[in-house]
Amino acid sequence: MASHRKSRTPGTRVAGIRTPALATAALTSVALLSQTANAVPSDDDKPSLEEVEKKVGDLYRQAESATEKYNAAKEKTTKQRKRVDTLLDDVAKRTQKLNDAREELGSFAAAQYRTGAGVPDTATFLLADTPQDIFDQRQVMDRMTGRQKEAVDDYVTQQSETMKKRQEATKSLETLTESQGDLKKAKATVQKKLTDARELMSKLTAEEKARLAAIEKKKQEEAARKAAELARQQAEQQQAQEEAAQQQSGGTGTSESSGSTTPPSTSTDSSYSTKAEKALAFARAQIGKPYVWGATGPGSYDCSGLTQAAWKAAGVTIPRTTYDQVDAGTTVPVSQAQPGDLVFFYDDITHVGIYIGNGMMIHAPKPGTYVREESIFYDGESSVHSVVRPA
């Protein structure tokens, strides 16, 4: 008798075990869930607030470095453009002189044709109406020959000089194109660094921003403490110098007329102080104006643009970039810094401020900030590169 039981179909449970098709689907689901879980970043992968602060600070410094390169390229481009314009004007004038010399040669050639200067002497004698005509023609040609020689010499000279100036102008145009390329590259670098820094800051929560502000406040307090310490050291040095001068003055008496009771540098220091006061007065008037990379005033400044403008107000011309300003004066120890001195920062010399005394300076810090007074130790004692007296 035939059996009436139906055969088992795939997908039914047998002794609590799924068939291969269902097992594969289950494993696939587990794998997908696992991948989804791994795709969510954990708190352990997120950089610490200190790391973010360091990264942002590095990006701003890199932007400032690129800014100084931009300033240098811009200055070079401006000078090169002026040189190219001057050369092109010179080439135009020389070309006109060359054309004038060519026209003069043409007039001599026409004169030769009219007077028969190219005709042999025998033919001239035979064709002349009278001996006087022969004599007159020879006199004219002798005079004309001398002028022709001068004209030819002048033409050759003008042609050679014009060619040299054209070659010089071509090379200057090539250099200008290269400088413009450097300018464009530096500008793009600045913008990229600033964008990266802003993106990092935008990802912080309100709580993280508050913690970051607390860290910054602590740094400022430490910088102020360092500035006060430097001010105390400088005051002690000043007092010691004054006491030494008084002792020297009291010990020499009037009999030693050859002795000097005034340090030889007094007049120089006085002259410098006068200029420094003017520079500082200008710098103080700029406090509150925004930092803008590449700016030289009057509405905004970058760091070296501010120091250059300040000393210009005192009648002293210093270069545009930090790289050049650091060589525009006499280097002095930090402990001997005087108001008006330039304080440079970092190993790559990418920032500068103007010293106002007591360990403080006026500077344009970075994008998003304003010209302000601040401790020269605002980024740590190790960040100070050197102090330079520009006048």
Q: Looking at 253-340, list the stretches that DSSP marks H as alpha helix, in order from N- to C-terminal side.
A: 266-285, 303-313, 322-325
Instruction: Please state, in angstroms and rounded to a whole number, the distance separating the CA atoms of residues 238 and 324.
Output: 31
Residue of 190, 194, 303, 352 with catalytic role? 303
Edge-first strand listing for the sheet containing 384-389: 330-332, 384-389, 342-345, 351-357, 360-363, 372-375
363 is catalytic: yes
Instruction: Please state, in angstroms and rounded to a whole number, the distance separating the CA atoms of residues 87 and 81.
Output: 10
Instruction: Please state, in angstroms and rounded to a whole number, the distance separating the CA atoms of residues 82 and 87.
Output: 9
Instruction: Please state, in angstroms and rounded to a whole number, the distance separating the CA atoms of residues 243 and 240.
Output: 5
Residue of 187, 351, 366, 389 with catalytic role? 351
385 is catalytic: no
Residue of 363, 366, 385, 389 with catalytic role? 363
Instruction: Tell me the DSSP string of 16-58.
Output: TB--HHHHHHHHHHHHHHHHHHHHSPPTTTSPPHHHHHHHHHH
4 is catalytic: no
**Which residues lie across from 363 on neighbouring strands?**
372
Instruction: Please state, in angstroms and rounded to a whole number, the distance separating the CA atoms of residues 156 and 123.
Output: 33
Query: Distances from the Cα of 160 to the Cαs of 96, 100, 104, 309, in angstroms?
Result: 14, 15, 17, 44
Work out whether the CA dihedral 99, 104, 109, 113 comes out positive or negative.
positive
- Nearest Cα to 363, choosing from 274, 269, 287? 287
What residues act catalytically? 303, 351, 363
